[in-house]
Structure 1
Amino acid sequence: MQDWQYPYDVHYAVLSDSIEVAYVDEGKGDRTLLFIHGLGSYLRAWDQNIAKLKKRYRCIALDLPGYGKSSKGAYAYDMSFFAHTVRQFIDALGLENVVLVGHSMGGQIALHTVLQDPEGIDRLVLLAPAGFETFTAEESAWMKNVYNAALIKATPAEQIVKNFEINFFEMPDNARFMIDDRMYMRETVEYDRYCEMVPRCVKGMLNEPVFDRLSGIDLPTLIIYGQEDRLIPNPFLHAGLNTETVARSGHDAMPNSTLLLLPEAGHFVQWEQAKAVNKALRKFLK
């Protein structure tokens, strides 16, 4: 959305198939933090982190294709596509000493990127990552059926507000611009394409599970979840599970990982507990 206001200057990287990836690039340092947002989000998901971390590191946050100010098109929108995009982006900018920082779907994309081609990537930071929770074939089929374009397009304004609020333990006022931006998008010609894209992203996560491949990742990895995450585990399919169980299953599968569970934080842990997340990240990178 070209009319959306970003707090930093926006740059563009042109990748294969003429895909333009919008990004912000702030700060300097020996390490480059490359932030990857989640489903239905955009690079502003990292505002609270870049503002502080740019004092010590080079911080780059991108809009994935289909999101924010990046190119919109009839792309695959699966994990392989996004991982390939991230790899191309790293190569196009000539980035080295990269720390991939992924939130939710962005965490699963970061994992796929490392599994696809880890060159130049030193560490991983996964914030409430998708990919640790596993689904049966029947559960996957149900989710693919439920998350469809018609349902998303028909979501009323009051439910959109609730859908954002459920991402937080207690949604702060400084995050409510996300709701405003979504409401604005609903009135534009881009909304139909957005409603078609989101289900394809969900299918992409389900069709390319990563859990059974976690043991093959030996990069130092920091995993952070909010203890009050109401999206992981899936509240409809896995009501008997809790966030800590899912988090520990992924942590146990990754031989070189560290797990941190933060209280009073929901799925948007990097926003709601930004100070604690930034502190943990700095400690992890020492």
Structure 2
Amino acid sequence: MKHDINGLKIHVQEQGTGELTLLFLHYYGGSLRTWGELIQRLQEDYRCIAYDQRGYGDSDKSANSYRIADLASDASELIHALGLKRFVLVGHSMGAKAALLLASMRPDGLKGLVLIAPASPTPGDMPKEFRNSMAHFYDTREGAQQAVQDISRLPLTNATYEMLIEDMQKTAPNARNAWPLVAMMEDISNEVPNIDVPTLILPGEYDPVDPVDAVNQQVASRIPNAEVKIVPDTGHLSPVEAPDAVASYIRTFLLRHVDRND
């Protein structure tokens, strides 16, 4: 289903039932399909809503701006459009940075925050030359294949591998450029300490993109009482590398800190 959000047609998929909603924000080059395996493991107890962010998947690719504020605004407007009353934001990498900004605004109904392999709220420390080349990783199938190999660790099924490649190449050129050249370099670190909901952070043990130490220093240290659980033996793509482990961490966190509240 597509919703009119900030003048764009945003592709949204809903599964499961429950009084608490989990809203999923995918990574750079991903789509709502990134969350498929994870949602299968959570949908019995929670309403799960995933969507293709602007410029990704089957969502509108006409936008010219892909700043973190744009991504956070899309999520906020979708929350209003769907009438969500109690929800948890689940963000991965780029999606986690957008979730950080939205959570810092303390939207009504936000009950928790889950950050998977989160991008830093401070400007990335990658050299400009690498960021320029990163903007073109997904231009060819070969480049997308190399990207998947570089950022994952555990073996992927053929179906998952092909899904990742297809999603990466489906990304709009403006979106491909915007993350490494603009949004990655935005500084939202002053806003992050305003987050006041239970927060779970799930770095991958061998993540080459957002390593555990960097996540602890740049993300966890800025969020009051954030809980960090390292996903064993995974790279940057733990939602598809280890969905069982990620789902287990999320379920335990929700039962302990969210489901029992109010």
Establish whether TM, by shorter chain, passes 0.5.
Answer: yes
Secondary structure at the counterpart of residue 233 of structure 2? coil
Does the Cα contact within 8 Å between 1:152 and 1:195 map onto a contact in 2? Answer: no
Q: 1:222 to 1:67 in 2, by over 3 A?
A: same
Tell me the number of residue pairs that the alignment of Structure 1 and Structure 2 aligns: 253
Quick one: higher RCO (CA 8 Å, sep 6+), 1 or 2?
Answer: 2
Identify the residue that residue 16 of structure 1 maps to in structure 2.
6
| 1:131-280 correspondence to structure 2 within 5 Å | 131-132=120-121, 134-135=123-124, 141-142=128-129, 144-148=131-135, 152-153=138-139, 155=140, 157-173=141-157, 174-179=159-164, 181-182=166-167, 185=169, 194-232=172-210, 243-249=211-217, 250-280=219-249
Compared CA separation, residues 206 and 159, structure 1 to 2 (3 A): closer
CA 1:23 to 1:74, structure 2 compared with 1: closer, same or farther past 3 Å? closer
Q: Are the counterparts in 1 of residues 132 and 180 from structure 2 also a CA contact under 8 Å? A: no
Cα distance change of structure 1 residues 34 and 179 upon mapping to structure 2, 3 Å threshold: closer
CA displacement, residues 83-116 of structure 1 (integer Å, 9 cap, x when unaligned) = 1111000001101111000001000010111224
1:218 to partner: Cα distance: 1.9
Max radius of gyration: which structure?
A: 1
Q: Shift in Å at residue 133 of structure 1?
A: 6.1
Post-superposition offset of 1:20: 1.0
Structural mapping, 1:92-131, within 5 Å: 92-131=81-120
Paired position in structure 1 for 2:252: 283
Residue identity opposite 1:177 in structure 2? E
Contact preservation (8 Å) 2:24, 2:91 = yes
Indicate conservation of the 8 Å contact 2:64/2:174, yes or no.
no
Q: Distance in 2 between matches of 1:144 and 1:130?
A: 14
3-state SS of paired residue (1:218)? coil
Gaps of 5+ in 1: 1-10, 186-190, 233-242
Q: Secondary structure of the residue that 1:119 maps to in structure 2?
A: coil
Q: Is the 8 A contact 1:134 1:211 kept in 2?
A: no
Instruction: Check whether the contact 1:36–1:101 (CA below 8 A) recurs between aligned residues.
Output: yes
- Pairwise CA RMSD of aligned residues? 2.2
> Is the alpha carbon distance of 1:182 and 1:270 closer, same or farther for their aligned partners in structure 2, counting shifts above 3 Å?
closer
> Which stretches of structure 1, 4 residues or more, deviate above 4 A after TM superposition?
139-144
Greater mean deviation of Cα atoms: 207-216 or 121-130: 207-216
TM-score (norm 1): 0.81
In the TM superposition, what is the alpha-carbon distance from 1:230 to its structure 2 partner? Answer: 1.7
Q: What is the distance in 1 between the residues matched to 2:229 and 2:156?
A: 22
Secondary structure in structure 2 of the residue aligned to 1:67: coil
Q: 1:27, 1:152 → 2: CA distance? A: 32
Aligned partner of residue 92 in structure 1, secondary structure: helix
Q: 1:142 to 1:218 in 2, by over 3 A?
A: farther
Identity across matched positions, percent? 30
Q: Deviations over 1:14-39 (max 9, x none)?
A: 1232x111111011112100000011
Structure 2 counterpart of 1:45, from 34, 53, 56: 34
Report the CA distance shift for 1:134/1:261 in structure 2 as closer, same or farther (over 3 A).
farther
Query: Does the residue aligned with 1:49 lie in a helix, a strand or coil?
Result: helix
Amino acid at match of 1:15: I
Quote the Cα distance in structure 2 between the aligned partners of 1:158 and 1:144.
18
SS at match of 1:215: helix
